Amino acid sequence: MPADGGEVADWFSKPGDAICALMHRRGVTADDLAAYLDGGVSELRGILEGHSRIDARSSEVLSRYLGGSTKFWLKRQENFELALERAVEAAAEHADDWFGSVPFPQSRGRRPATDKAVRDELRRRMLFYSVPTLSTWEQRYGRICSETHFRRSMSFVPLNSAVLLWLRRGELEAELVQTRSWSPKKLEERLVRIRQLSKINHPSRFLPKLRSICAEAGVAVVVVRTPKGCYASGATRLISADKAMILLSFRHRSDDQFWFTVFHEIGHLLLHGAETFVDSDETPIDELEQQANGFARQCLIPPEREEEFLRLKAVRNSIIRFSVSVGIAPGLTVGQMQHRQMIEHSQMNFLKRRWKWEDIDHACV
């Protein structure tokens, strides 16, 4: 038996696991199902994550649109709660190990003062990561930070907990995204359509289209703001055998940075397969990052137009004409000119689009 008391009897399975599987099988989207729940998307998210209960009303909705009787769903909830409490009881003997090892939002890793508070904290961690034991958490998440390819400065290495929290929130949000089976070939076939979206000026218009196009290739595109201590702009992760994730933070809220990150992450998925990558600004560039950067550059500036691009000067009309001719927004051309030191970083920034957080948050609802 594991040191944290993790035996088979302590295992639990969220009702959300069955809900996600049935949604995928029946082609029911999160928006479809949430429309019939009294609490909408918030209630559906809570049920999937395990901290909201399936009650009489929600069991009727699940029965009608996913199958199974209302009695089945209520019993599924009851069994889950009993199994969760067994896992919490077993883990309570090793609570200090949990609090010292498993990061959690708005927690400093200290042991709570009362036994009830200890169990409440353990329950929240188990639900957030969907793990019943500390050894299971270690297998799924404990090695992510050591095995993940971090495109960031070495000064950020101690902040792996914040990165892990961001990645896990991305996984939870990806559960709400209905996708087809992951297919690198289909993603590559959609690059031109994705590229055309850069010409759309507002996140509320291009983000739904980006999600839809990528979902056709089995990629869930999710946007999550980074927590304190996480400086990532994007990440990729294969979250199941048939579902990949592109996680975006809109860290710089400008079109050149955002779309370069999108294509950089697509590059990782197409070139580097199932490995997890977390990308940020200050970068020790290795071979894999050079490959992803090169892929993104070619997506933005076609190789056959490279020589023409390199002759561009800091002239508004010339940049706009070139951008229109290759099918991207002018801000992306400016960003590439600055990155390649063709112009100063202070030049031509008026051609970039910049967004406010309320614009981005509204597009993510």
pLDDT tens per residue, range 145-176: 666 665 443 333 334 788 899 999 999 999 99
Q: Same domain, yes or no, for 170 and 39?
A: no
Same domain? For 134 and 211 the reply is no
pLDDT in tens, the chain (365 residues): 344 444 445 689 999 999 999 998 999 999 999 999 999 999 999 999 999 999 999 999 999 999 999 999 999 999 999 999 999 999 999 999 999 889 988 776 677 889 999 999 999 999 999 999 999 998 888 777 666 665 443 333 334 788 899 999 999 999 999 999 999 999 999 999 999 999 999 999 999 999 999 999 999 999 999 988 888 999 999 999 899 999 999 999 999 999 999 999 999 999 998 778 888 765 567 888 899 999 999 999 999 999 999 999 999 999 999 999 999 999 999 999 999 999 999 999 999 999 998 888 876 65
User: Is residue 3 situated within a structural domain?
Assistant: no
Q: Identify which of 164, 170, 169, 283 has the alpha carbon closest to the alpha carbon of residue 229.
A: 164
270 in a structural domain:
yes
Judge contact between 59 and 70, C-beta under 8 A.
Answer: yes
Number of domains, the chain: 2
Q: Give the CB-side neighbour count of residue 195, counting CA atoms within 13 A.
A: 20
Give the predicted TM-score (pTM) of the model. 0.89
Supply the range of the domain harboring residue 331. Answer: 148-363
| CB-CB contact of 41 with 34 (8 Å) | yes
CA distance 207 to 213: 10
Residues 57 and 110 reside in one and the same domain:
yes
Q: Is residue 1 part of a domain?
A: no
**Are both 223 and 288 inside the same structural domain?**
yes
Query: Is the Cβ–Cβ distance between 91 and 126 less than 8 Å?
Result: yes
2 found inside a domain: no
Q: Are residues 115 and 156 in the same domain?
A: no
- Asked if 200 and 107 sit in the same domain, the reply is no
Express each pLDDT in 287-312 by its tens digit.
888 999 999 999 999 999 999 999 99
Which one of 126, 142, 158 terminates a domain?
142
138 and 157 in a single domain? The answer is no
Per the CB < 8 A criterion, the answer to whether 73 and 59 are in contact is: yes
Q: Is residue 74 part of a domain?
A: yes
Indicate if 236 and 127 belong to the same structural domain.
no
87 and 27 in a common domain: yes
Q: Read out DSSP for 34-96?
A: HTTSTTHHHHHHHHHHTSS---HHHHHHHHHHH-S-HHHHHHHHHHHHHHHHHHHHHHGGGHH
Q: What CATH code is carried by the domain that includes residue 30?
A: 1.10.260.40
Q: Are residues 83 and 165 in the same domain?
A: no
Residues 291 and 250 in one domain: yes
